[in-house]
Every structure is written in structure tokens, then in C-alpha cells.
Amino acid sequence: MDGSVESRRASLSTLRRLIFSSSVPWERQRTRFAAATSTTPVAPSVVREAVTIGPLSVETLTPPDAVRDRAIVYVHGGGYCIGSPAMGRALGPFLAVTLRATCYGLNYRLAPEHPAPAAVRDVSSLLAHLAGRAVVGLADSAGAGALVAALLGGAAPVGALALVSPWLDPLRPYDDALAARDPLLSIGWLEACARAYARGPLDEALVAPLRASWTGLAPTVVVGTDDDLTAPDAATLAARELTGVTVRTWPGLWHDFALALGQLPEATEAAELIGEHLATAMRWRRVGATGW
């Protein structure tokens, strides 16, 4: 195994112990996660701003040559309970530059204070605000679940989708053998997140969109791997052979590896795939990007 992969796995195990742990209170998880991502750099040419859109808190990433009516909506992961748009500060700017679009990272309301369908409603609100523009969707982990649930529920449509390590069925059981290979996520943490988010009687499609009928969605690319407790969700999509849904798997890596742009060659490959997919679906010309 490559040395960089081994060292990355070791650091992920530390994050699992300090942050992604059901024994750590949510607020402490959030504080530690914010500290861990506070120094995440953004490409020098990209302007990062914190803005308010109605009741929504949004982080925008805008390259100097952004086309005014182009938008990337980014919905972050974190089990619906922690996380922020800072998770996308490598992949988001890369796509913003290559697609000449502004990336809108949504700070949706988090569980357990705001259980389902709060995240889905916040995604729908942002899509409604951007209606009339050329919009593509980018999401990872739980964010992918919220974005897909919003779109299947009638939110303003997007022209193309990219889902990274999607967590699309928090209600399913997990495999112990797979858990032993995952350096970041644990069964206990995912189950705690699911309990916090999916409280009370809810439409399954809101919290587990994998169980819904995927009809009417835009062309979708799914990026995944196999040492990841959420991997069965991408595998289920691949097995369905849905029209317009392409699943690409990088073996031997972990949850959300594609967000580590600039740190792993596989993440760069995934970013290129996502950029090509979105540009092709939207008929946008891609711009060459350097420094990633």
C-alpha cells in the first residue's frame, strides 16, 4: 500500500476516535470538526464569502471568470449532525474554476436539534432561490441523501448531479466485516446519526431516498469506494443499472476520499471525472485548472 494512503488511514482513525464517535457529544464533535477544517485552504483565485439567503447560511466560492447564471449547489456530509461547507473547500473550488461557476455551500440545519426533514427543506429552499439559473448539484455522504430527497420531493431541478460516497439509506443494517475495514466511520456513529435525524413517523423517501423510485433525476455520477460503511448504497445503485446513473468505484479507499483533492491522486481522478460529467451534461466548456 502506498505510504501516503497508509498515513492518511492513520489520521482518519484519529478523527474517528475524536470526532466521529457516538461516545462524543454532538457539540464537541462539531467544535472539533470545525477546528480540524478551519485551516482548509481555498485556491488563491477563488473568493470565499459567507452570505445569507433568506433564512439560509451559505458559503460561496467564486472564481474570477464565473459565468453569472451558473451555479454549483454543494451539500456537505456529516451524518446530518455535524459538518459544514468547509468539507468541500478543495473539490468545490476545483469545480468552480473548471466550470466557471459559483459554488454555493449550504449550512443546513443539523440534527438532533433539527431532525428530518429540516435538511431536505433547506436544500429545497436554496434550489428555489437559484431557480432560473443553470444549476448542478454536488453532495457527499449525508448531503447526498438530503439533495436527492429534495429533488425527488419536487424541489427545483438541477441539470446534473455528482454524489460522493452517498449515504442514501440510514435505516439499513450494517456489515461488521465492512466496518472492520473502514478507517473513519463506525456502525455506532452512523446509527446514532440516524436516530438523531430520523425521529418520529416519516416518509421513507425523506430519510432513505435509496428506497424511492429514482425517476426524473438529472444525469448522475456516483463516486465511491469499498472500504466504506456507506459503500453498499453506491453498490445498490450500480446493480440497478438505472438510465442516466453512472457509478465509479476506486478500490481500497475510504469514505469521502474524493474530497481530499491535492492529497491523493485518486481524489484528483475523481474530481476530473465529476468535472467532465457535469460539463458534458450541461454542455459547458471546461477550463483547465492547475495547482490541484
Amino acid letter, residue 145: G
- Rounded to an integer, what distance in angstroms lies between the CA atom of residue 35 and that of residue 67? 33
What is the pLDDT, as a whole number, of residue 290?
Answer: 59
What average pLDDT is seen over the chain? 95
Domain boundaries, the chain: 3-282
pTM of the model: 0.96
- Rounded to an integer, what distance in angstroms lies between the CA atom of residue 112 and that of residue 80? 8
Closest by CA position to 130, among listed 98, 106, 112, 146:
106
Closest by CA position to 103, among listed 49, 147, 167:
49
Weakest mean pLDDT among 43-52, 139-148, 177-186, 197-206: 197-206
pLDDT of residue 3 exceeding 70, the answer is: no
Report pLDDT digits (tens) over 135-153.
999 999 999 999 999 999 9
Q: What are phi and psi of 216, to 5 degrees?
A: 85, 5
Nine-digit cell string for 120: 431536505
Amino acid letter, residue 143: G
Which DSSP category does 85 fall into?
G
Q: Provide mean pLDDT across the span 107-128.
A: 98
Beta strands in 217-256 (DSSP E): 220-225, 245-250
Angle (CA) 30 115 84, round 5° = 35
Split at pLDDT 50, 70, 90, the class of 202 is confident
- Rounded to an integer, what distance in angstroms lies between the CA atom of residue 23 and that of residue 189? 8
What is the pLDDT, as a whole number, of residue 1?
Answer: 45
3-282 CATH choice from 3.40.50.2300, 3.40.50.1820, 3.30.470.20, 3.20.20.70: 3.40.50.1820
Q: Provide mean pLDDT across the span 78-95.
A: 97
